[in-house]
Structure 1
């Protein structure tokens, strides 16, 4: 596998950043994840942090040499992230469960597997056009799909920011999976939060993803989103991967050059989790919550056997 990858996040006009994102790869597989903590509920950054760390750790744990059942892996691990969030809610005695969106991409054997919950999106650009795009789990998307509103009404609808499906909360998430997509030379995969796609026109997003240097493309995309959100807007985050054997950027990664047992992971730096709202959650506490759910799952599987 040969690819270039870049990620970035901006706080925008919000008091702090609730977005979290990361990618991880080794010789046989690549994994990307982005989560957008829901600001309408307390501690959205906690939910996003937990979701990203749970998914990255699961990839590192189960992808050697490859994920044997990608769809099942994505569905089960997103459900596990939901359980970890609930575990933290109970331990911290929170009044309500933190909530987040999530979108993930797994690449192995030259195929893209993706899943999402909420309105963080994945785009696949092919020859400069959108070949695949996730569908938001939002009220306006449901109304549009049912023919109750027109496409022109979406941007100004009073419920355009309301979503009905998330990780965390009272109900388990309904994980939407896409059919596997064989990748072609030059394909670009973009994961982004609604702070990006809400602020930047579709044509501008596509143009930025055509950049020869995908790092420049991501930076310009976030610059546009930031400029459009000076006073009113959201956190904005994006990960983009440019796929192909003919990529010649000096930052290009060839997994064929990697030792078999080496995994590289990049987590986007973020502020202390929920410190602005009186909930200081350390990395060790998150790791403990993940481990407890993993241990409980292991006991359940042994009991079934």
Structure 2
């Protein structure tokens, strides 16, 4: 495989960043995942961290060097994340269940597989044209699909960021698996949170990413989103992938010489709020990264034990 990839996250005007994102690759497979935490700053961060860590851990364990079924991998592990969040809520006696949206993609043998829950999106561009975009699990999208509102109303509707499906909470998630798509040399894939697409139109996204450098494209996209949203914005996170090495980019990754059992995972650095800028007691009860990792391990062991029984 040859590809160029870049990810970044901006906190925006919020006091904390609930978004988490990462990518991981083996010799013959590549995973990209973006999660946008919901339901309060502590809980949202926990759910998103659980989502990204669980997906990348599973990929590293199973992609040796490729997944037996990318579609099944995406669906099974998104459901597992939901179950883990439910168990975490009960064990820690949390007042509110952590919740997160998620969009994840696997590229294997030149084919793109994608699944999502909520309103974090995947875009697929080729030669400056939009080939595919995931459909949000949002109230506004549902109203539009039923013909109750028109397209122009969607961007200004008061419920435009309210989702009806997520990982975590009392309702089982609606996990949408997209049709598999063959990738061509030079194709661009974008995964992003609603903080990006809510501030930048699809037409603008297409124009910005239609550039030789995916690194410059994603950076410009986040700059535009941040400048547009200003003090009304959300966290903004994006992963951009340019397939192949059409531009002979010196930053391109080649897995040709990569050892069969190796994987590489790049998780975007977590940004935490300045305690001086938060309300009194706002940070009380937060989980550290070590606590989250230990909790993931504990829950995974418990789930495996339950399956054996």
TM class, shorter-length: over 0.9
1:288 maps to: 294
Deviations 1:219-268 (A, max 9, x none): 00000001012111100000000002434111100110222222111111
Whether 2:204 is the aligned partner of 1:204: answer yes
Residues 7-156 of structure 1 aligned to structure 2 (within 5 Å): 7-39=7-39, 43-156=43-156
Q: Which residue of 2 is the match for residue 299 of structure 1? A: 305
Indicate conservation of the 8 Å contact 2:196/2:236, yes or no.
yes
**Contact 1:80–1:293, Cα closer than 8 Å, also in 2:** no
Equivalent residue for 1:248? 248
1:132-281 equivalent positions in 2, closer than 5 A: 132-272=132-272, 276-281=282-287
Distance change in 2, residues 1:39/1:236 (3 Å): farther
SS of the equivalent of 2:76 reads helix
Is the contact between residue 34 and residue 52 of structure 1 (CA under 8 Å) also seen in structure 2?
A: yes
Aligned-residue RMSD, C-alpha: 1.7
Could you tell me the TM-score, scaled by structure 2's length? 0.93
The 1:67/1:273 distance shift into structure 2, 3 A limit, reads farther
**CA distance in structure 2 between the aligned counterparts of 1:210 and 1:73, rounded to whole angstroms:** 31
Gaps of 5+ in 1: none
Size of the alignment, in residue pairs?
Answer: 303
Contact 1:41 1:99 in 2 (8 A): no
Q: How far apart in 2 are the matches of 1:39 and 1:79?
A: 19
Task: Give the direction of change, closer, same or farther, for the CA distance of 1:273–1:111 in structure 2 (3 Å limit).
Answer: farther
The Cα offsets for residues 25-62 of structure 1, whole Å up to 9 and x where unpaired, read as: 11110000000011567621111111110111011111
TM-score, normalising length from structure 1?
Answer: 0.94
Q: Which whole-Å deviations, capped at 9, do the CAs of 1:121-163 have from their partners, x for residues lacking one? A: 0000011111010000000100101111100111111211110
Asked whether the equivalents of residues 140 and 157 of structure 1 are also in contact (C-alpha less than 8 Å), the reply is yes
Q: Unpaired segments of 5 or more residues in structure 2?
A: 276-281
Query: What is the distance in 1 between the residues matched to 2:72 and 2:307?
Result: 15
CA distance in 1, matches of 2:180, 2:220: 29
